[in-house]
Amino acid sequence: MAHIFELSEKVQLLPVIHGSGNFSREVRQRILSSGCDCLAVCLPPEFQTTVEQGLRKLPYISISALEESEGTLSYVPIDPVQPVIMALRIAQQEGIARKFIDLSVPQYETRHMDFPDSFALQGLSLEKFAVALLPFIERPPANSQHDQRARWMAYQLHQLEMDYSKVVLVCSVLDWPWIKQAYDERSEYPKPSVPDGHPVLYGLEPNTLFFALSEFPYITYLYEKNRQELKSDRSVAIDGVKEIMLKARENFLAKHKVRYHNLTSQTFQVYLQYVRNLTLMENRLTPDLYTLVVSAKQVGGDAYAIALMEAARDYPFQKEEAGLDTLAMGIDQAVLDEDHVINMRNRLSETQFEWRSLDLKPNPEQFKQEQWKYTWNPYGQCSWPPEDEKIESLNTHVREQTKLLLSNDLARTEKFTSSVKDGIDIRDTLRNWHTGDIYVKEIPPSRGTIEVVVMLFEMEPQPDQYNWRQTWFAEHKEESTLCFFATNYMDNMIGPGIGQATYGGCMMIFPPRPIINIWEDPRLLMSETLEEKLLEAAFFHSKEKHITVVSPGPPKASWRRMARQYKKRIIHIPLKRFSVQTIEKVRQFHVLNGKHIRSFATRFIQDI
């Protein structure tokens, strides 16, 4: 089986799946170890000048495009992960002669096939991989374009072996059986039909590289980065996915300024297991972009899914190149000069792709945000009901926990007689173990209720960061009176009449009742900072003795002095009792420019 690709002592085939990074690595190793003095590739000779010009511009990505008879552009992507481009690059580097021997045709005909995942080459030889595909490779119809191309390339190999001692042809895995047959049988060959025009080298818009590259742009960047740093690229296809995850998290945290999040190593472990399961369900060994983004949406929400997609399309080497016209690529189309749409045909893409849609809420563009700011009605303002439910649920939970703490302070312990009451007191039972007696505890109901809860998400919030202070009254009896300081929602407009803000701290009074805006109340004289203003308002307005304070750290001495002045008592609950995901979901909230906005707000509001 080791010699199945040898056509003669001088000619050897190297079949590849176009667009596979695993095949590129195999091609590089085989060419460097073959000792060949001529490299032939399955591209027409008219492309040689522009393709080699593009090779010299790498790692900048470009395409060599030729206008065909029907007005479409047939193009060759100068993609460093393409096996054909890798072969030409190595040949150019080693000073090996390069020959473009494919048949020139007026209109190139594309073909597509569902190939097995090329990651199998990690544990499988190229010969075994190619032989396993043979039963599924259909013979091209007689005298069809692909049949003529195979016969022409076989004829060109006969020509080359007269001038060179070792010729290697890099061709498609769909063509090698028919090239081998035509070579052995010395089949008749057609005459080439040279196109009228000449290929032109174009640059590509960085944001549209997805449609020209075979791998994710960021994976391609890692291949090039490892090449420059002389590192192995054997595991880039897998490790690159992890790199994209971490880069997406960095972008997500920087963009949304999230302090508490659930994108931890444990979450990523669950994410990778989910990706693996979805990948195996689709009969693949490596995940595609759709699988990665769907999994990211399930684990981290729309915001993280968008961050991951942006990280995957990043290619830092794609800087502006002087002297080249730039194309914006799309699905089998490209845009030149903003209004000129051209149909495209990729000569180095034979894999059958399936385009699938995914519902994500993207971030608005800057000019739209500015427009929404100017159209904001300053006399209309309300909350988003689902977020009201979240914070009220947390408020209820905090008040219940406070009552439990108060009850535990009043607990009594006594010797067991006939009832275990509220449970066995393990501490006193062990303390009196030598007596053989069992002690039980009795927790009486707490006295009074908790009316006011103060939540501080930072111990020392900065006034310039949390420059929006407000008091909101309840819309119905199930809501609390809410006083808070937060970031300015006008700085983050996410939709028409919808702004996003982040709580720095808040005070909730339940049952609700109207109060004077605490940020303008002249009676609150002791406080100097934002958190002290909330606490003093809580001490002033509470009808109960106990005030619950949820904060990252223990209450300061100044807070306790203020509480004694108002004859109140602070019940502290550490913020770390709650998961970071819960805290972050409560902190992020939206301000609507009137109740009518609620009818369409769900189209713009993302869950973090």
Q: How far apart are CA 311 and CA 326, in angstroms?
A: 22
- How many residues does this entry show for the chain? 608
Residues in the chain predicted with pLDDT less than 70, given as ranges, are 1-2, 258-260, 321-322, 407-412, 442-448, 607-608
d(CA 362, CA 309): 11
540 C-beta neighbours (distance < 10 Å), count:
18
DSSP state letter for 351:
B
The per-residue pLDDT for 169 is 93
pLDDT of residue 122: 86
Are 454 and 476 spatial neighbours (Cβ–Cβ below 8 Å)?
A: no
Run of H or E including 409: helix 385-409
| pLDDT at site 445 | 64
Q: What is the pLDDT of residue 430?
A: 84
In angstroms, the CA 590 to CA 592 distance is: 6
CA distance 176 to 182: 10
Q: What is the DSSP letter of 83?
A: H
Bond prior to 59 in cis (omega within 30° of 0): yes
**β strands within 425-566, DSSP E:** 439-442, 452-456, 468-472, 481-486, 493-495, 498-509, 546-551
> Are 455 and 505 within 8 A, CB to CB?
yes
pLDDT at 76: 93
Are 262 and 274 spatial neighbours (Cβ–Cβ below 8 Å)? Answer: no
Contacts of 324 (CB under 8 A, 6+ apart): 62, 201, 202, 203
* CA 497-259-607 angle, 5° bins: 45
Q: For residue 426, what are the CA distances in angstroms to 405, 406, 430?
A: 18, 20, 6
Model pLDDT, residue 322: 64
Question: Which pLDDT does position 31 carry in this prediction?
Answer: 92
38-41 and 97-100 strand pairing: parallel
Q: Which helix (H) or strand (E) holds 532?
A: helix 530-541
∠ CA 561-563-569, nearest 5°, is 125
Of the candidates 202, 244, 192, the residue with the CA atom closest to the CA atom of residue 46: 192
Instruction: Please say whether the beta carbons of 199 and 108 come within 8 A.
Output: no
Compute the distance between CA of residue 498 and CA of residue 500 in angstroms, rounded to an integer. 7
